[in-house]
C-alpha cells in the first residue's frame, strides 16, 4: 500500500491558510450531480449551447479511472467549482479524438484537465487556484509526465499565464465548431520552477502555503490511477 | 426551554440556514445556546448562525473549542465584529464544522479584512445596503465589495432584502437574504418536546 505522497514542492511551506471552501474528490452519484450543476452553469455563461449539453452527467464522469474534483463551500456545502482529470492509461485522451498530439507525448503518462467550471468564472478566483493546486498535487503524486488542457481564447490566456506551453491552435473541436480552441501542456516536473521564475502568485499559493482544506483522498487517487 | 431563530434563504433557492435570535452571546454562552437548537428534532437548516459579543483571540478560541465539543452535524457560523476580527492576529485553530462571519460590513469596512483567511462569510449592515440603493457611490462600493467576496469565495448575507426600487439594474446579489415575511422559528429542546407530547396525551385521554 502506498503512503500519502510527500509535498511535491522544492520549498517548505511558510504558513497554513484556511479556505472558505473545501476541495475534495467527488464520490457517488450525488457528488457527480453537484459537479455537473456547477459545470453546466459555468459553461452556459460563455458557450450556451455547450452549457445546455452539459446539464447531464457524461459517461466520463463515471469512469473508474477518472477523477472529479469538487469545491464546495463550508458554510452550506454549495458546489462552487469542479474539474475533471482524465488520464491516458486505459485509452487515448479526449483531445486525441480531435487532434494528434506531437511525438514527444507518445508513451507518456498524461492527464487531461476537462470540464473546468467555477461559480463566477473569473480566472483569478481562489476556487480556481485551489482546483489547479489539487490537480497539480495529484499529477505529481501519480508521476504524470504532462498535464494537458484545451481552452478557448479567454481560458487559454489563463493557461498561458500558468506557464503552460501552447502545443496546437487555434483548432475547431467537434463539440463546438463555432469556437476556436488551443491545446496546452505543462511538464509536471517543471511547473513549480516555471512559476517561481515568473514570480507567479500561484507559486506562493501552491508551494509556500499549506491548505488543509484541499483534502484529497489519495487512496481513491491511487486506485483510480492504478498506482496500487 | 425554547429559542427563536430567523431564517436566511439562499437567493439561488437551494438552501436555507437559521440564525439564533438573541443578544450578542459571550464566548462562554455559545455552547449552551447552540446545544438547544442542535438537539431539536425539527432543525433542518444547512447552517446555524449565532452572533458573538465583541471579544478577543482567547474568547474566540474558547468559543470554537466549546462548539467543537458539540460535534454538530450542521455547520456553525459565528458572527463577529470587525474589532474582534482585528484582534485575532493570525490564524485560528482549525475546528471542523465551524466558521466565522464578519458582521456589520459597511462602507467603512477595510477590504483588508475580507482577505483574512479566518472568515468564510460577510454580513452587510442593513443601513449600508439600503443606502446603496439610493446613492451611486455607495452602490459602487457595495458592488466592489461583493465582487471581491465572490473572488474569495466568501458567502454574503444581506441584513435586509434589497429594495425593489433599486437605482441600478441588476441589483447586487447576495448569497443569503432574510425571509422578511416569515415568523420567527421556535426551536424547542427535546425535554420540552416530550413534555408537550405527554401533555397532549393526557389531554387526549381526558377527552
Angstrom distance (rounded) from CA B5 to CA B187: 7
Instruction: Answer with the residue of higher pLDDT: A8 or B38.
Output: A8
- Partners of B94 on chain A (C-beta within 8 Å) are 18, 212
Question: Which residues in chain A (58-97) have CB-CB distances under 8 A to chain B?
Answer: 71, 73-78, 80
Distance from CA of B97 to the nearest CA of A (A): 7
- Do B153 and A77 lie within an 8 Å CB cutoff? no
**β-strands A79-87, A67-73: how paired?**
antiparallel
- Do A126 and B153 lie within an 8 Å CB cutoff? yes
Q: Would you call A215 an interface residue with chain B, using a CB distance cutoff of 8 Å?
A: no
Write the pLDDT tens digit of every residue in A16-57: 999 999 999 999 999 999 999 888 888 777 777 777 778 889
Quick one: CA dihedral B74, A4, A93, A28, positive or negative?
A: negative
Which spans in chain A are helix H? 28-46, 48-53, 126-141, 153-161, 188-197, 201-207, 218-224
**Chain B: residue nearest A21 by CA?**
B153
* Partner-chain residue, chosen from B47, B151, B152, that has the shortest CB–CB distance to A75: B47
- Partners of B121 on chain A (C-beta within 8 Å) are 20, 75
Quick one: what percent of chain B has pLDDT higher than 70?
83
Here the cell at position A164 is 503552460
B203 pLDDT tier (thresholds 50, 70, 90): very low
* Partner-chain residue, chosen from B10, B47, B94, that has the shortest CB–CB distance to A18: B94
Q: Would you call A212 an interface residue with chain B, using a CB distance cutoff of 8 Å?
A: yes
**Chain A: residue nearest B156 by CA?**
A75
Nearest CA to A108 out of A138, A135, A87 is that of A87
- Partners of B15 on chain A (C-beta within 8 Å) are 76, 78
- Partners of A131 on chain B (C-beta within 8 Å) are none
Nearest CA to B27 out of B48, B56, B6 is that of B56
How much is the pLDDT for A21? Answer: 96
SS3 for chain B, per residue? CEEEEEEEEECCCCCEEEEECCCCECHHHHHHHHHHHHHCCCCCCCEEEEEECCCCHHHHHHHHHHHHHHCCCCEEEEEECHHHHHHCCCCCCCCCCEEEEEEEECCCCCHHHHCCCCEEEEEECHHHHHHHCCCHHHHHHHHHHHHHHHHCCCEEEECCCCCCCCCCCCCCCCCEEECCCCCCEEEECHHHHHHHHHHHHHHHHHC
Write the pLDDT tens digit of every residue in B141-180: 999 999 999 999 999 999 765 555 666 677 888 999 987 7
Write the pLDDT tens digit of every residue in B80-137: 999 999 999 777 888 889 999 999 999 999 999 999 998 999 999 999 998 998 899 9
Q: What is this model's ipTM?
A: 0.89
What pTM was estimated for this model as a whole? 0.90
pLDDT at B38 over 90: no
Write the pLDDT tens digit of every residue in A50-91: 777 788 899 999 999 999 999 999 999 999 999 999 999 999
pLDDT at A149 over 90: yes
Question: Which residues in chain A (25-54) have CB-CB distances under 8 A to chain B?
Answer: none
How much is the pLDDT for B166? Answer: 63
- Partners of B10 on chain A (C-beta within 8 Å) are 76, 78
Amino acid at each position: 500500500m502506498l503512503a500519502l505522497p510527500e509535498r511535491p514542492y522544492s520549498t517548505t511551506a511558510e504558513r497554513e491558510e484556511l479556505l472558505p471552501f473545501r476541495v475534495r474528490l467527488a464520490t457517488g452519484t450525488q457528488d457527480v450531480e453537484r459537479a455537473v450543476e456547477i459545470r453546466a452553469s459555468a459553461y452556459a455563461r460563455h458557450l450556451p449551447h455547450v452549457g445546455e449539453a452539459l446539464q447531464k452527467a457524461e459517461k466520463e464522469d463515471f469512469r473508474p479511472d477518472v477523477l472529479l474534483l469538487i469545491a464546495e463551500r463550508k458554510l452550506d456545502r454549495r458546489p462552487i467549482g469542479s474539474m475533471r482529470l482524465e488520464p491516458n492509461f486505459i485509452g487515448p485522451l479526449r483531445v486525441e479524438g480531435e487532434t494528434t498530439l506531437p511525438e514527444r507525448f507518445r508513451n507518456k503518462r498524461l492527464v487531461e484537465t476537462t470540464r473546468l467550471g467555477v461559480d463566477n468564472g473569473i480566472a483569478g478566483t481562489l476556487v480556481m487556484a485551489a482546483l489547479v493546486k489539487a490537480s497539480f498535487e495529484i499529477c505529481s503524486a501519480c508521476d504524470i509526465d504532462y498535464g494537458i488542457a484545451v481552452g478557448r481564447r479567454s481560458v487559454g490566456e489563463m493557461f498561458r499565464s500558468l506557464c503552460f506551453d501552447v502545443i496546437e491552435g487555434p483548432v475547431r473541436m467537434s463539440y463546438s465548431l463555432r469556437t476556436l480552441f488551443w491545446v496546452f501542456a505543462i511538464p509536471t516536473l517543471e511547473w513549480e520552477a516555471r512559476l517561481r521564475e515568473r514570480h507567479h502568485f500561484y507559486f506562493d499559493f501552491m508551494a509556500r502555503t499549506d491548505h488543509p482544506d484541499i483534502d484529497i483522498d489519495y487512496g481513491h487517487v491511487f486506485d483510480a490511477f492504478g498506482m496500487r | 426551554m425554547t429559542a427563536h431563530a430567523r431564517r436566511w434563504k439562499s437567493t439561488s433557492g437551494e438552501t436555507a440556514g437559521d440564525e439564533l435570535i438573541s443578544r450578542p452571546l459571550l464566548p462562554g454562552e455559545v455552547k449552551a445556546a447552540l446545544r438547544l437548537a442542535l438537539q431539536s428534532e425539527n432543525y433542518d437548516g444547512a447552517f446555524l448562525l449565532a452572533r458573538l459579543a465583541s471579544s478577543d483571540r482567547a474568547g474566540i478560541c474558547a468559543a470554537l473549542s466549546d462548539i467543537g465539543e458539540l460535534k454538530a452535524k450542521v455547520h456553525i457560523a459565528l458572527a463577529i465584529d470587525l474589532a474582534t476580527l482585528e484582534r485575532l492576529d493570525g490564524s485560528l485553530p482549525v475546528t471542523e464544522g465551524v466558521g466565522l462571519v464578519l458582521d456589520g460590513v459597511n462602507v467603512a469596512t477595510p477590504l483588508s479584512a475580507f482577505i483574512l483567511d479566518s472568515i468564510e462569510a460577510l454580513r452587510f449592515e442593513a443601513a449600508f445596503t439600503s443606502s446603496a440603493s439610493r446613492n451611486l457611490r455607495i452602490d459602487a462600493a457595495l458592488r466592489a465589495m461583493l465582487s471581491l467576496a465572490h473572488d474569495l469565495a466568501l458567502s454574503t448575507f444581506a441584513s435586509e432584502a434589497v429594495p425593489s426600487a433599486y437605482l441600478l439594474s441588476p441589483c447586487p446579489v447576495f448569497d443569503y437574504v432574510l425571509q422578511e415575511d416569515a415568523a420567527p422559528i421556535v426551536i424547542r429542546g427535546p425535554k420540552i418536546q416530550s413534555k408537550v407530547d405527554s401533555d397532549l396525551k393526557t389531554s387526549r385521554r381526558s377527552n
